A and B are shown apart, each in its own frame.
Chain A
Amino acid sequence: MSTHQPPMPQAGAAAPDWQAAPGGSYSGYTSPIPVVRTHLGHAVASEWTKIRSVRSTMWTLGVFVVLVVGIGLLVGAVVGNSGSDLSGDENPLALGFFGLLLGSISIITLGVLTTASEYGTGMIRTTMTACPSRGRVLAAKAIVFFLVAFVVTLAASSFVAMAQMSLLDGTGARNPTGAEWLKGTVGVSFYIALLGLLSLLIGSMIRHSAGAITLMIGAVLAPLVIALFMFSSSLDKVRESLFEYSIPNQMSVFYSNSLTHSGPSGWDPLWIIVGVTAAAFVGAVVLLEKRDV
């Protein structure tokens, strides 16, 4: 069995009898603490404590709220006081887009930090020792982060939308329909939260905060920037799709009711990011199981 014979006598049997171990019969110590079979709920409670007990959560969410609300109110005030005539077919809720686009960078950062920072500090070993089911750890992180990101984004975007509507009073802007309200608040919040969740999964795969944040911000901005510089007409098709499927453009779809032009429209951006995030989740779980912590 062994190629290296130890120079010292081996105490006891060389090959332990696994079958003789029905779990705990060896031990002479019984803890007074009740034994609890751990489940996902425990992991979620633990992750909730983690996310609320570090300052980076407060910072990223604070910056997010300041950006979304600040820019939203500013844009609403400027447009409302400019005396311009907004009477037309445009969805007035679209004014909330600018704040959310910038704010999404905060959500991306928080998403990445939720997973990748544990690799930076070594906390991940403690986490995985406390909960050896790696998939459960990732699922708990995903659930907690998604709910936090969604609730905060929904609150901020709804507040901004209502504030802007009152600021636009008298500019002739039409009242958004119920479907537009739904897309412009709940829909776009789902999208932002999923973008953050995707960042969380990328953070789990890359295990490096700065690297994952850079990658995600690049993914948000690069297609649009690259498309801007594609002058050649032979690249028109590529340029078109880079533009249409860039994340800022997909976000703007939540404020547009036209279904005519090519590219994603209606609720398409949400289904696209749901698909991408689901694929990333599978990839992250596979990598997590395969690699050493």
Chain B
Amino acid sequence: MIELVGLTKRYGEKVAVNDLTFTVRPGIVTGFLGPNGAGKSTTMRMILGLDHPTSGDVRIDGKHYDQVKDPLTYIGALLDAKATHGGRSAFNHLLCLAQSNGIPTSRVHEVLDTVGLTAVARKKAKGFSLGMGQRLGIAGALLGDPRILMFDEPVNGLDPEGIHWIRNLMKTLAAQGRTVFVSSHLMSEMALTADHLVVIGQGRLLADTTMADFIRQNSRAYVRIRTPQRERLLDVLHQAGITVVEAGGGALEVEGGKAEKIGELAAQHGIVLHELSPQQASLEEAFMQLTAESVEYHAHADTTPVQQAWGADWKGA
């Protein structure tokens, strides 16, 4: 359980995180969604006590992160896959993390095996591909077998097999009763993994809802119909008081989820249907709709790309 109350972070004039209040619960995967530069990584750094909030508070099971006596067995975090010393081998990288928390060396071998890096355990991290680096970061997060896991953009750089693996991993971890908090800028990715959704834009909370509610409230549902008896169907639907719109390619669309009713009407009147499919606007579309409020910022940011990428330029400094 991670609780944020009025969490705010300013860098001079720039407000990176603005009055965030939400709770990350155990037993489910909570998706943390926002466009690039929305403040996701800054929020995660504040949860881990790396950055001091300008105001507000964030606690983990009621404690500040620096009060946790066994950090790695409590929280595992993947912040930046490249946050390793390139000259150190994967094994030694994990070993020094394990030692700092009194975790037995055998556990290092276990997590290397879990993420599939056993074969390159003695190789330097410098030579790792983006995907391998990501796996090493995930191994570090899993090292303490923690009850809370945080992943910042975990699928970045992973191949399809790796993406599939991390999705299942997150679901398995949550099913074991752990708190899983994962950030992404891809709605489609979240739709496949997250049960709960926290959306931020420009550092402000835009949504804090279950995935199902989010889909219901933000996406347009309609029914697509194809029929060779177009005129008859239009008459029948008109009589039943159902509004039909012409869609491209000879298809018809009916707003709302009335597929059953349309099917029954067609059967009653002996109308042949080639397609009767309930549709939902894509989640990417819903996400765009939600963040549309901050479009003025985006438009502004487009002219000054340096501002938009403000997170990137000081990150490596």
Residue numbers of A with Cβ under 8 A of B are 1-4, 6-12, 14-16, 18-33, 35-38, 42-43, 45-47, 49-50, 53-56, 117-118, 121-133, 292-293
Which B residues are CB-close (under 8 A) to A122?
80, 82-84, 315-316
Asked if B103 CB lies within 8 Å of chain A CBs, one says yes
B62 touches which one: A22, A32, A118 (CB < 8 A)? Answer: A22
**Cβ-defined contact, B92 with A49, below 8 A:** yes
Q: Are A15 and B66 in contact (CB under 8 A)?
A: no
**Residue from A4, A21, A45, A117 within 8 A of B61 (CB atoms):** A21
Is B227's beta carbon under 8 Å from chain A?
A: no
B79 and A125 contacting across the interface, CB-CB below 8 Å: yes
Contact B207 A53 (CB under 8 A): no
List B170-188 residues whose CB lies under 8 Å from chain A. Answer: 176-179
B107 at the interface (CB under 8 A from A): yes
Question: For A9, what are the chain B residues with a Cβ–Cβ distance below 8 Å?
Answer: 208-209
CA A88 to CA B71, docked complex, whole Å = 63
Contact A29 B3 (CB under 8 A): no
Contacts A2-B6, A26-B1, A36-B73 given; does A31 touch B51 at CB 8 Å: no
Tell me, in angstroms, the Cα distance from A31 to B147 when the chains sit together: 7
With A and B bound together, what is the CA distance between A43 and B6 in angstroms? Answer: 33
Which residues on B are within 8 Å of A, measured CB to CB?
Answer: 1, 3, 5-6, 18-19, 21-23, 25-27, 45, 48-52, 59, 61-63, 65-66, 68-75, 77, 79-80, 82-89, 92, 95-97, 99-104, 107, 140, 144-148, 176-179, 196, 199, 204-210, 213-214, 217, 290, 315-316
Contacts of B23 in A (CB 8 A): 11-12, 16
Q: What's the least CB distance linking B140 to chain A, in Å?
A: 7
Q: Let me know if A28 and B97 touch, CB within 8 A.
A: no
Pair A1/B21 contact, Cβ less than 8 Å: yes
A43 near B100 with CB under 8 A, answer yes
CB contact between B22 and one of A10, A117, A130, A293 (< 8 Å): that residue? A10
Residues of B within 8 A of A45 (CB): 99-100
Interface contact B26-A31, CB-CB below 8 Å = no
Given A7-B206, A21-B59, answer yes or no on A129-B79 (Cβ-Cβ < 8 Å): yes
Q: Which B residues are CB-close (under 8 A) to A56?
A: 87
Measured between beta carbons, the chain B residues less than 8 angstroms from A15 are 5
Verify B101–A49 contact, CB threshold 8 A: no
Q: Cα distance A9–B206 when bound, in Å?
A: 10
Which residues from chain B contact A124 at a C-beta distance below 8 Å?
83
Give the distance in Å from the alpha carbon of A128 to the alpha carbon of B100 in the complex. Answer: 10
Beyond the given pairs A16-B23, A23-B62, 12 more chain A to chain B contacts, judged by CB atoms under 8 angstroms and listed by A's residue number, are: A1-B21, A2-B21, A12-B23, A22-B62, A27-B179, A31-B146, A35-B73, A121-B85, A129-B77, A131-B71, A292-B45, A293-B51
